[in-house]
C-alpha cells in the first residue's frame, strides 16, 4: 500500500520504508536508523522487487563474505586455479573487488554502480579500501572490506599490488579481448575509469557479459564514474532492472541511502553541524560550490552567479527590502513566495570567499538569513581520512536541506541531491571563463539521478562507435554535462 508522503522527517520510519534490514546493532552505526529523524522521507516509490533483491543480496554476502568457508575456498582456488577444465562458473561464490580512485563523491557513485552490478550478477562486492571510519558496514552479519594482511597465510587475498592495475594491464578485460588468445582466467581486471578504451567499453555489451565475464570468478574493478546507467544498456539486465526500478530516475537515491551510512565519528559531525546551523531554522538552504580546473571562473564572477541564482529563484531574499514588510506583503499575495524568518544557509566549498561575502550581505538581517560553512579546506587531498570524513559529513548535511544549489558536474553535489531525493538548482558551467548571463545562472536539475560522465558510446551490435544517449528511451544526455548520460 502506498504510504502517505510526509514532508517532515519521520523518526519512526527507521527502516526507510523497508529499504534497510532490521538486523543491525543500532549502536554500532547510529546514523543508519537515526537518519530518518533528520532527512525527509523519500518521495520516490520503492519497489518490492528492489527490497527482495537487497535481502537476497544480504544472504549471499553472508554466505560468501570474508570469514566464511566459501570465501576461504574461493581464495584457495584463486591461489591455485584448476587447469583441468572444470567449469568455474559452477563455483558457489564469485566476487567483485572494487578499488578506490578520485574524490569521495566519485567513489560513492562508482561503488554504487559496482554494487548494482554485483546484485545483477550474483557477485559478492568487496572493497579494497582501508576501513577509514567514513561509512558503516552496509550488509548485516558480514563485512564488505576485503581482508588484506601481511602474513602470507592461506586466507590472504592473493592478488598483489591491486593498485598497479590500470588501463592496459595484461589482466584487464580490454587486453584480453584485444589479444587473439582469450583464455580462461581465474581473475580479471575491469578498467572503467574515464580514460577507458574501446575494448574496455565492451564491458557494456551483452555477449561479453554473457560469455567471458560470467566465467571469471574474481573481477577487480576501478571506476571513477557513475556507470550504473551503462548497465541499463545491457539487454540481459533489462528485465531485472525494470522490476527493481520501475521508475528509473531514482536508482542512486535508493541504492545510496541503502549503502552509505555515516560512521559514528562522521555522524557526530553531522548532528553537531545540524544542531548548530540547521535545527532552529524555518528553512534550510544548502549551497555547494566547486571550482574545477577544467572550467575556470573568477571568485567575483562565480559569486555574482550564485547571487543571481538565489535571488532570481526566490531562494534567498534580496537584502535591504525589510524582512517584515516583505513577509507581510508576500504572505498575503502569494503563499509560495513567503519569506519566513530564519533561513539557514549552509555552504559546502573548499573556499570561504562565497559564504563570507554572503554573510556580509545579510549582516544587518541575520535573523532573516544566517550563513554558515562547516569547513574550508582550501585544497583537495585524495585519500585523506579526515578530509573524507568532513566531505561525507557535509554531503549528508546538505541532503537535509529543503532547497539546494549545487555545481554542475560535481559528484559531491550529485551525492547530496541523490541522498536527499530532491532536485537541486544547478549552477551552470562557466563558458570560456565567464559566468552565464544572469537569467541562466542556474536551472532546476531535470532529475535527481547523477550523470555518467564518460559513457561507453559503443554500439555493441554494429561493433562500432555509438551514442549512449540515443540507444534507449530512458537514457539521455545530461543537462549539466552534455557528453554524459543519465537515467530519466
Kindly state the helix (H) or strand (E) to which residue 465 belongs, with its residue range: strand 464-465
In the bound complex, what is the minimum distance in angstroms from residue 258's beta carbon to ligand GDP? 20
| 406 beta partners | 426
Q: Is 348 in the site for ligand GDP (CB under 6 A)?
A: yes
Nearer to ligand GDP, 65 or 103 (CB): 103
Residues 105-124 that bind ligand GDP (CB under 6 A): 105-106
Separation in Å, CA 413 to CA 210, 293, 358, 416: 35, 17, 20, 5
In the bound complex, what is the minimum distance in angstroms from residue 133's beta carbon to ligand GDP? 15
Nearest to 415 by CA among 438, 440, 397, 435: 397
Q: Is 104 in the site for ligand GDP (CB under 6 A)?
A: yes
Q: Is 350 in the site for ligand GDP (CB under 6 A)?
A: yes
Q: Is 295 in the site for ligand GDP (CB under 6 A)?
A: no
In the bound complex, what is the minimum distance in angstroms from residue 480's beta carbon to ligand GDP? 11
Q: Is 349 in the site for ligand GDP (CB under 6 A)?
A: yes
Considering only residues 172, 185, 330, 410, which one is a binding residue for ligand GDP as defined by CB under 6 A? 410
Stretch that binds ligand GDP, among 139-147, 151-159, 194-202, 406-414 (CB under 6 A): 406-414
User: What percent of the residues of the chain are helix, what percent strand, and what percent coil, each to the nearest 5?
Assistant: 40, 15, 45
In the bound complex, what is the minimum distance in angstroms from residue 256's beta carbon to ligand GDP? 13
Separation in Å, CA 161 to CA 55, 99, 200: 33, 11, 20
Residues 385-404 that bind ligand GDP (CB under 6 A): 387, 390-391, 394
Nearer to ligand GDP, 76 or 380 (CB): 380
Nearer to ligand GDP, 198 or 377 (CB): 377
Considering only residues 76, 82, 380, 440, which one is a binding residue for ligand GDP as defined by CB under 6 A? 380
Considering only residues 185, 375, 396, 454, which one is a binding residue for ligand GDP as defined by CB under 6 A? 375
| 191 beta partners | 222
> Cβ distance 137 to 143 under 8 Å?
yes
Q: Which residue has the cell 555552504?
A: 347
Q: How many CA atoms lie within 13 A of 471 on its CB side?
A: 26
Using the CB atoms, write b or e for 237-259: b if 16+ within 10 Å: beeebeebbeebbbbbbbbbbbb
Cell numbers for 353: 570567499
Q: Is 443 in the site for ligand GDP (CB under 6 A)?
A: no
Q: Is 273 in the site for ligand GDP (CB under 6 A)?
A: no
Q: Is 103 in the site for ligand GDP (CB under 6 A)?
A: yes
Cell numbers for 160: 598483489
Q: Is 31 in the site for ligand GDP (CB under 6 A)?
A: no
Nearer to ligand GDP, 176 or 401 (CB): 401
Stretch that binds ligand GDP, among 35-43, 86-94, 98-106, 338-346 (CB under 6 A): 98-106
For the chain, the residue count is 488
Nearest to 371 by CA among 294, 462, 281: 281
Distant-in-sequence, close-in-space partners of 452: CB < 8 Å, separation ≥ 6: 225, 226, 227, 228, 229, 230, 468, 478, 484, 485, 486
Q: Is 377 in the site for ligand GDP (CB under 6 A)?
A: yes
Nearer to ligand GDP, 106 or 185 (CB): 106
Nearest to 230 by CA among 482, 478, 469: 469
Q: Which residues bind ligand GDP (CB under 6 A)?
A: 102-106, 290, 348-350, 375, 377, 380, 387, 390-391, 394, 410-412
Amino acid at each position: 500500500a502506498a504510504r502517505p508522503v510526509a514532508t517532515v522527517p519521520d523518526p519512526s520510519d527507521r527502516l526507510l520504508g523497508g529499504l534497510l534490514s532490521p538486523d543491525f546493532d543500532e549502536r554500532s552505526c547510529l546514523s543508519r536508523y537515526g537518519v530518518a529523524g533528520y532527512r525527509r522521507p523519500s518521495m520516490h516509490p520503492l519497489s518490492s522487487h528492489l527490497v527482495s533483491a537487497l535481502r537476497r543480496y544480504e544472504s549471499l554476502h553472508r554466505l560468501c563474505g570474508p570469514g566464511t568457508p566459501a570465501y576461504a575456498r574461493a581464495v584457495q582456488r584463486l591461489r591455485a586455479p584448476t587447469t583441468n577444465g572444470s567449469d568455474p562458473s559452477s563455483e558457489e561464490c564469485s566476487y567483485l573487488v572494487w578499488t578506490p580512485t578520485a574524490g569521495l563523491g566519485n567513489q560513492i557513485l562508482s561503488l554504487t554502480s559496482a554494487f548494482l552490478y554485483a546484485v545483477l550478477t550474483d557477485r559478492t562486492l568487496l572493497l579494497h579500501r582501508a576501513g577509514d571510519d567514513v561509512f558503516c558496514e552496509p550488509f548485516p552479519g558480514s563485512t564488505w572490506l576485503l581482508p588484506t594482511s601481511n602474513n602470507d597465510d592461506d586466507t590472504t587475498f592473493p592478488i598483489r599490488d591491486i593498485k598497479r592495475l590500470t588501463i592496459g594491464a595484461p589482466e584487464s578485460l580490454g587486453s584480453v579481448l584485444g589479444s587473439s588468445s582469450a583464455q580462461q582466467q581465474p581473475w580479471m581486471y575491469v578498467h572503467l575509469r574515464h580514460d577507458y578504451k574501446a575494448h574496455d567499453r565492451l564491458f557494456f555489451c551483452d555477449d561479453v557479459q554473457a560469455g567471458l565475464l560470467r566465467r571469471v570468478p574474481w573481477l577487480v574493478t576501478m571506476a571513477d564514474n557513475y556507470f550504473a546507467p551503462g548497465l541499463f544498456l545491457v539487454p540481459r539486465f533489462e528485465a531485472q532492472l525494470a522490476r527493481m526500478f520501475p521508475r528509473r530516475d531514482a536508482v542512486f537515491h535508493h541504492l545510496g541511502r541503502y549503502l552509505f551510512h555515516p560512521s559514528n565519528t562522521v555522524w557526530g559531525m553531522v548532528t553537531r553541524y545540524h544542531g548548530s546551523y540547521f535545527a532552529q531554522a524555518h528553512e534550510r538552504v544548502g549551497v555547494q560550490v566547486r571550482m574545477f580546473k577544467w572550467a575556470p571562473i573568477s571568485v567575483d564572477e562565480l559569486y555574482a552567479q550564485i547571487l543571481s541564482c538565489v535571488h532570481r529563484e526566490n531562494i534567498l531574499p534580496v537584502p535591504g527590502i525589510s524582512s517584515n514588510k516583505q513577509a507581510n506583503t508576500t504572505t498575503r499575495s502569494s503563499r509560495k513566495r513567503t519569506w519566513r524568518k530564519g533561513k539557514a544557509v549552509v555552504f559546502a566549498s573548499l573556499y570561504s570567499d562565497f559564504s563570507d561575502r554572503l554573510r556580509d550581505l545579510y549582516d544587518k538581517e541575520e535573523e532573516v538569513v544566517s550563513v554558515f560553512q562547516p569547513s574550508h579546506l582550501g585544497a583537495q587531498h585524495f585519500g585523506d581520512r579526515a578530509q573524507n570524513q568532513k566531505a561525507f559529513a557535509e554531503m549528508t548535511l546538505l541532503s537535509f536541506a529543503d532547497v539546494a544549489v549545487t555545481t554542475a558536474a560535481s559528484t559531491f553535489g550529485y551525492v547530496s541531491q541523490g541522498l536527499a531525493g530532491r532536485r537541486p538548482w544547478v549552477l551552470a558551467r562557466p563558458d570560456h571563463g565567464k559566468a552565464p548571463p544572469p537569467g541562466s545562472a542556474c536551472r532546476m536539475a531535470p532529475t535527481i539521478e547523477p550523470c555518467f560522465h564518460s559513457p561507453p558510446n559503443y554500439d555493441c551490435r554494429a561493433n562500432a562507435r555509438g551514442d549512449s544517449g540515443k540507444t534507449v528511451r530512458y537514457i539521455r544526455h545530461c543537462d549539466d554535462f552534455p557528453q554524459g548520460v543519465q537515467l530519466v
